[in-house]
Amino acid sequence: MLLEKSLAAIFVLLLAATLVNGLLVLLRPGKNWRELTLRIRTWWLIIILFSLALLSPHWLALTFFALVSFVALKEFLTLAPLRQSDRMPLLWMFIAIPINYWLIGIGWYGMFTIFIPVYVFLFLPTRMVIAGDTHSFLRTASQLHWGLMTTVFAFSHVAFLLILPSESQSTGALLVLFLVGLTELNDIAQYLWGKSLGHIKVTPKVSPNKTLAGLLGGVATTAVVATILGPILTPLSSPMALAAGTIIGITGFCGDVVMSAIKRDIGVKDSGTLLPGHGGILDRLDSLLFTAPVFFHFIRYFYY
Protein backbone atom coordinates (compact mmCIF):
# COMPACT_ATOMS: atom_id res chain seq x y z
CA MET A 1 0.00 0.00 0.00
CA LEU A 2 2.86 2.37 0.75
CA LEU A 3 4.12 2.14 -2.82
CA GLU A 4 0.67 2.86 -4.24
CA LYS A 5 0.18 5.83 -1.89
CA SER A 6 3.59 7.24 -2.82
CA LEU A 7 2.85 6.99 -6.53
CA ALA A 8 -0.57 8.55 -5.97
CA ALA A 9 1.10 11.49 -4.20
CA ILE A 10 3.37 12.00 -7.23
CA PHE A 11 0.36 12.04 -9.55
CA VAL A 12 -1.35 14.60 -7.31
CA LEU A 13 1.71 16.86 -7.54
CA LEU A 14 1.82 16.43 -11.30
CA LEU A 15 -1.89 17.20 -11.54
CA ALA A 16 -1.34 20.37 -9.49
CA ALA A 17 1.49 21.38 -11.85
CA THR A 18 -0.79 20.78 -14.83
CA LEU A 19 -3.52 22.98 -13.32
CA VAL A 20 -1.03 25.76 -12.53
CA ASN A 21 0.28 25.59 -16.08
CA GLY A 22 -3.26 25.83 -17.42
CA LEU A 23 -3.95 28.90 -15.27
CA LEU A 24 -0.75 30.56 -16.45
CA VAL A 25 -1.75 30.00 -20.08
CA LEU A 26 -5.19 31.55 -19.43
CA LEU A 27 -4.06 34.46 -17.28
CA ARG A 28 -0.96 35.38 -19.28
CA PRO A 29 -1.71 34.49 -22.89
CA GLY A 30 0.92 36.89 -24.20
CA LYS A 31 3.76 34.85 -22.75
CA ASN A 32 5.09 31.70 -24.41
CA TRP A 33 4.33 28.71 -22.15
CA ARG A 34 4.90 26.08 -24.84
CA GLU A 35 8.10 24.60 -23.37
CA LEU A 36 6.57 24.31 -19.89
CA THR A 37 3.46 22.68 -21.34
CA LEU A 38 5.55 20.19 -23.31
CA ARG A 39 7.64 19.40 -20.23
CA ILE A 40 4.57 18.64 -18.12
CA ARG A 41 3.00 16.51 -20.85
CA THR A 42 6.20 14.52 -21.14
CA TRP A 43 6.36 14.12 -17.36
CA TRP A 44 2.91 12.52 -17.49
CA LEU A 45 4.19 9.92 -19.94
CA ILE A 46 7.41 9.32 -17.99
CA ILE A 47 5.66 8.91 -14.64
CA ILE A 48 2.92 6.66 -16.03
CA LEU A 49 5.49 4.31 -17.59
CA PHE A 50 7.71 4.46 -14.52
CA SER A 51 4.77 3.69 -12.20
CA LEU A 52 3.67 0.74 -14.32
CA ALA A 53 7.22 -0.62 -14.20
CA LEU A 54 7.35 -0.39 -10.39
CA LEU A 55 3.97 -2.10 -10.05
CA SER A 56 4.83 -4.86 -12.54
CA PRO A 57 6.41 -8.27 -11.86
CA HIS A 58 10.18 -8.13 -11.68
CA TRP A 59 10.72 -9.70 -15.12
CA LEU A 60 8.54 -7.08 -16.78
CA ALA A 61 10.15 -4.22 -14.84
CA LEU A 62 13.62 -5.45 -15.83
CA THR A 63 12.48 -5.60 -19.46
CA PHE A 64 11.34 -1.98 -19.19
CA PHE A 65 14.68 -0.82 -17.76
CA ALA A 66 16.54 -2.84 -20.42
CA LEU A 67 14.57 -1.03 -23.11
CA VAL A 68 15.47 2.31 -21.53
CA SER A 69 19.15 1.29 -21.63
CA PHE A 70 18.75 0.27 -25.29
CA VAL A 71 17.23 3.64 -26.26
CA ALA A 72 19.79 5.59 -24.21
CA LEU A 73 22.73 3.70 -25.73
CA LYS A 74 21.33 4.14 -29.23
CA GLU A 75 20.94 7.89 -28.60
CA PHE A 76 24.50 8.14 -27.30
CA LEU A 77 25.91 6.29 -30.30
CA THR A 78 23.92 8.56 -32.61
CA LEU A 79 25.79 11.53 -31.13
CA ALA A 80 29.26 9.98 -31.05
CA PRO A 81 31.36 10.06 -34.24
CA LEU A 82 31.86 6.41 -35.22
CA ARG A 83 33.73 4.60 -37.96
CA GLN A 84 32.29 2.35 -40.68
CA SER A 85 34.39 -0.52 -39.33
CA ASP A 86 32.68 -0.41 -35.90
CA ARG A 87 29.44 -2.11 -36.94
CA MET A 88 30.22 -5.48 -35.34
CA PRO A 89 31.45 -4.03 -32.03
CA LEU A 90 28.22 -1.99 -31.91
CA LEU A 91 26.19 -5.16 -32.39
CA TRP A 92 28.00 -6.79 -29.46
CA MET A 93 27.31 -3.76 -27.31
CA PHE A 94 23.57 -4.20 -27.83
CA ILE A 95 23.86 -7.95 -27.22
CA ALA A 96 25.43 -7.12 -23.85
CA ILE A 97 22.22 -5.37 -22.70
CA PRO A 98 19.97 -8.44 -22.30
CA ILE A 99 22.86 -10.40 -20.77
CA ASN A 100 23.46 -7.64 -18.23
CA TYR A 101 19.78 -7.52 -17.23
CA TRP A 102 19.54 -11.32 -17.19
CA LEU A 103 22.35 -11.33 -14.61
CA ILE A 104 20.30 -8.90 -12.56
CA GLY A 105 17.19 -11.05 -12.94
CA ILE A 106 18.89 -14.15 -11.55
CA GLY A 107 20.56 -12.10 -8.82
CA TRP A 108 24.13 -12.98 -9.84
CA TYR A 109 25.70 -9.93 -8.23
CA GLY A 110 29.33 -11.04 -8.62
CA MET A 111 29.12 -11.57 -12.37
CA PHE A 112 26.99 -8.44 -12.81
CA THR A 113 29.72 -6.26 -11.29
CA ILE A 114 32.42 -7.56 -13.66
CA PHE A 115 30.57 -8.52 -16.86
CA ILE A 116 30.64 -5.07 -18.51
CA PRO A 117 33.51 -3.37 -16.58
CA VAL A 118 35.88 -6.33 -17.19
CA TYR A 119 34.80 -8.79 -19.85
CA VAL A 120 33.01 -6.46 -22.27
CA PHE A 121 35.62 -3.77 -21.60
CA LEU A 122 38.34 -6.14 -22.84
CA PHE A 123 36.29 -7.76 -25.59
CA LEU A 124 35.20 -4.61 -27.46
CA PRO A 125 38.65 -3.26 -28.41
CA THR A 126 39.76 -6.80 -29.28
CA ARG A 127 36.82 -7.09 -31.67
CA MET A 128 37.68 -3.64 -33.08
CA VAL A 129 41.25 -4.75 -33.81
CA ILE A 130 39.99 -7.62 -35.96
CA ALA A 131 38.58 -5.05 -38.41
CA GLY A 132 42.11 -3.69 -38.85
CA ASP A 133 41.14 -0.01 -38.67
CA THR A 134 43.52 1.92 -36.41
CA HIS A 135 42.28 5.40 -37.33
CA SER A 136 40.94 7.13 -34.16
CA PHE A 137 41.12 3.76 -32.43
CA LEU A 138 41.64 5.05 -28.89
CA ARG A 139 38.97 7.75 -29.17
CA THR A 140 36.43 5.31 -30.60
CA ALA A 141 37.16 2.63 -27.98
CA SER A 142 36.80 5.23 -25.23
CA GLN A 143 33.46 6.37 -26.62
CA LEU A 144 32.11 2.83 -26.84
CA HIS A 145 33.27 1.99 -23.32
CA TRP A 146 31.83 5.19 -21.87
CA GLY A 147 28.49 4.76 -23.62
CA LEU A 148 28.09 1.18 -22.43
CA MET A 149 29.27 1.89 -18.89
CA THR A 150 26.84 4.76 -18.37
CA THR A 151 23.70 3.89 -20.31
CA VAL A 152 23.75 0.17 -19.48
CA PHE A 153 25.94 -0.71 -16.50
CA ALA A 154 25.48 2.42 -14.37
CA PHE A 155 21.78 2.83 -15.16
CA SER A 156 21.01 -0.86 -14.56
CA HIS A 157 21.80 -0.38 -10.86
CA VAL A 158 18.34 1.18 -10.67
CA ALA A 159 16.90 -2.16 -11.80
CA PHE A 160 19.08 -4.12 -9.36
CA LEU A 161 17.54 -2.19 -6.46
CA LEU A 162 14.21 -3.84 -7.36
CA ILE A 163 15.42 -7.36 -6.69
CA LEU A 164 17.39 -6.82 -3.48
CA PRO A 165 16.16 -9.39 -0.95
CA SER A 166 13.65 -8.00 1.56
CA GLU A 167 10.67 -9.00 3.67
CA SER A 168 8.29 -6.95 1.55
CA GLN A 169 8.11 -7.20 -2.23
CA SER A 170 7.58 -3.44 -2.48
CA THR A 171 10.81 -2.54 -0.65
CA GLY A 172 12.89 -2.63 -3.83
CA ALA A 173 10.36 -0.53 -5.71
CA LEU A 174 10.31 2.01 -2.88
CA LEU A 175 14.12 2.20 -2.98
CA VAL A 176 13.90 2.92 -6.71
CA LEU A 177 11.22 5.55 -6.10
CA PHE A 178 13.35 7.11 -3.35
CA LEU A 179 16.44 7.26 -5.60
CA VAL A 180 14.73 8.52 -8.75
CA GLY A 181 12.52 10.98 -6.89
CA LEU A 182 15.43 12.53 -4.99
CA THR A 183 17.60 12.66 -8.11
CA GLU A 184 14.92 14.63 -9.96
CA LEU A 185 14.25 16.80 -6.90
CA ASN A 186 17.96 17.58 -6.71
CA ASP A 187 17.97 18.75 -10.34
CA ILE A 188 14.97 21.01 -9.73
CA ALA A 189 16.27 22.35 -6.42
CA GLN A 190 19.70 23.15 -7.87
CA TYR A 191 18.05 25.00 -10.74
CA LEU A 192 15.76 27.03 -8.45
CA TRP A 193 18.48 27.87 -5.90
CA GLY A 194 20.85 28.81 -8.71
CA LYS A 195 18.27 31.09 -10.33
CA SER A 196 17.38 32.74 -7.02
CA LEU A 197 20.76 33.23 -5.34
CA GLY A 198 23.38 32.03 -7.79
CA HIS A 199 26.28 34.33 -8.63
CA ILE A 200 29.43 32.24 -8.27
CA LYS A 201 29.82 29.91 -11.26
CA VAL A 202 31.02 26.39 -10.50
CA THR A 203 31.70 25.19 -14.05
CA PRO A 204 31.46 28.32 -16.25
CA LYS A 205 33.07 26.71 -19.30
CA VAL A 206 30.98 23.53 -19.13
CA SER A 207 27.60 24.56 -17.76
CA PRO A 208 27.39 28.32 -17.14
CA ASN A 209 24.09 28.02 -15.28
CA LYS A 210 25.60 25.86 -12.53
CA THR A 211 26.33 28.01 -9.48
CA LEU A 212 27.69 27.39 -6.00
CA ALA A 213 24.38 28.47 -4.46
CA GLY A 214 22.55 26.04 -6.72
CA LEU A 215 24.88 23.19 -5.79
CA LEU A 216 24.79 23.80 -2.03
CA GLY A 217 21.07 24.60 -1.97
CA GLY A 218 20.22 21.56 -4.05
CA VAL A 219 22.31 19.19 -1.92
CA ALA A 220 20.87 20.65 1.30
CA THR A 221 17.28 20.41 0.01
CA THR A 222 17.79 16.84 -1.17
CA ALA A 223 19.40 15.84 2.12
CA VAL A 224 16.55 17.30 4.19
CA VAL A 225 13.83 15.65 2.10
CA ALA A 226 15.76 12.36 2.19
CA THR A 227 15.97 12.55 6.00
CA ILE A 228 12.19 12.93 6.17
CA LEU A 229 11.22 10.33 3.57
CA GLY A 230 13.99 7.78 4.12
CA PRO A 231 12.64 6.17 7.31
CA ILE A 232 9.13 6.14 5.81
CA LEU A 233 9.89 4.63 2.40
CA THR A 234 13.09 2.67 2.95
CA PRO A 235 15.02 0.67 5.57
CA LEU A 236 17.21 3.77 6.12
CA SER A 237 17.37 5.40 9.54
CA SER A 238 17.29 9.20 9.69
CA PRO A 239 21.11 9.62 9.88
CA MET A 240 21.65 7.14 7.05
CA ALA A 241 18.91 8.78 4.99
CA LEU A 242 20.66 12.12 5.51
CA ALA A 243 23.91 10.58 4.25
CA ALA A 244 22.10 9.02 1.27
CA GLY A 245 20.45 12.34 0.39
CA THR A 246 23.79 14.13 0.54
CA ILE A 247 25.39 11.51 -1.68
CA ILE A 248 22.56 11.74 -4.21
CA GLY A 249 22.80 15.53 -4.26
CA ILE A 250 26.55 15.58 -4.90
CA THR A 251 26.69 12.72 -7.40
CA GLY A 252 23.62 14.07 -9.22
CA PHE A 253 25.44 17.35 -9.78
CA CYS A 254 28.51 15.45 -11.02
CA GLY A 255 26.43 13.44 -13.48
CA ASP A 256 24.77 16.57 -14.81
CA VAL A 257 27.97 18.50 -15.47
CA VAL A 258 29.87 15.49 -16.87
CA MET A 259 27.13 14.78 -19.40
CA SER A 260 27.04 18.52 -20.20
CA ALA A 261 30.76 18.37 -20.93
CA ILE A 262 30.20 15.44 -23.30
CA LYS A 263 27.44 17.28 -25.18
CA ARG A 264 29.60 20.40 -25.37
CA ASP A 265 32.47 18.35 -26.75
CA ILE A 266 30.19 16.83 -29.39
CA GLY A 267 28.68 20.24 -30.13
CA VAL A 268 25.01 19.72 -29.23
CA LYS A 269 22.72 21.38 -26.69
CA ASP A 270 20.39 18.40 -26.19
CA SER A 271 21.13 14.73 -26.68
CA GLY A 272 18.01 14.24 -28.81
CA THR A 273 14.34 15.06 -29.35
CA LEU A 274 12.68 11.93 -27.97
CA LEU A 275 11.19 13.72 -24.95
CA PRO A 276 9.44 16.97 -26.00
CA GLY A 277 10.38 19.83 -23.69
CA HIS A 278 13.26 17.86 -22.18
CA GLY A 279 15.42 16.91 -25.16
CA GLY A 280 16.71 13.36 -25.41
CA ILE A 281 16.52 10.51 -22.95
CA LEU A 282 20.12 11.19 -21.86
CA ASP A 283 19.09 14.72 -20.87
CA ARG A 284 16.67 13.14 -18.40
CA LEU A 285 19.01 10.37 -17.21
CA ASP A 286 22.27 12.33 -16.87
CA SER A 287 22.15 12.75 -13.08
CA LEU A 288 20.71 9.27 -12.50
CA LEU A 289 23.62 7.66 -14.33
CA PHE A 290 25.85 8.79 -11.46
CA THR A 291 23.45 8.58 -8.50
CA ALA A 292 22.22 5.04 -9.26
CA PRO A 293 25.45 3.01 -8.83
CA VAL A 294 26.64 5.05 -5.84
CA PHE A 295 23.29 4.81 -4.02
CA PHE A 296 22.97 1.10 -4.87
CA HIS A 297 26.33 0.21 -3.36
CA PHE A 298 25.64 2.44 -0.35
CA ILE A 299 22.42 0.50 0.31
CA ARG A 300 23.93 -2.90 -0.37
CA TYR A 301 27.00 -2.31 1.79
CA PHE A 302 25.13 -1.11 4.87
CA TYR A 303 21.89 -3.11 4.64
CA TYR A 304 22.59 -6.33 2.76
Maximum separation of any 2 CA atoms in the chain, in Å? 64
Phi then psi for residue 173, to 5 deg, are -65, -35
- Spell out the per-residue pLDDT of the chain, length 304, in tens: 899 999 999 999 999 989 988 888 888 887 887 877 888 899 999 999 999 999 999 999 999 999 999 999 999 999 888 888 888 999 999 999 999 999 999 999 999 999 999 999 999 999 999 988 888 899 999 999 999 999 999 999 999 999 998 767 789 999 999 999 999 999 989 988 988 887 888 888 888 888 899 999 999 999 999 999 999 999 999 999 999 999 999 999 999 999 999 988 888 888 878 888 778 999 999 999 999 999 999 999 998 8
Q: Which of 148, 154, 198, 174 is nearest to 287 (CA)?
A: 154
**pLDDT value at residue 279:** 85
Contact yes or no for 73/151 (Cβ under 8 A)? yes
Angle at 121 between CA 115 and CA 122, to 5 degrees: 105
**pLDDT value at residue 64:** 97
Residues in a beta bridge with 275: 279
Give Cα separations from 165 to 81, 106, 168, 170 (angstroms). 41, 12, 9, 11
Give Cα separations from 272 to 68, 107, 135, 205, 269 (angstroms). 14, 33, 27, 22, 9
Q: What is the dihedral angle through the alpha carbons of 103, 107, 110, 113, rounded to the nearest 10 degrees? A: 50
Predicted model pTM: 0.93
Angle between helices 121-130 and 137-148 (to 10 degrees): 140
Determine the straight-line distance between the first and last CA of the chain, rounded to whole angstroms: 24
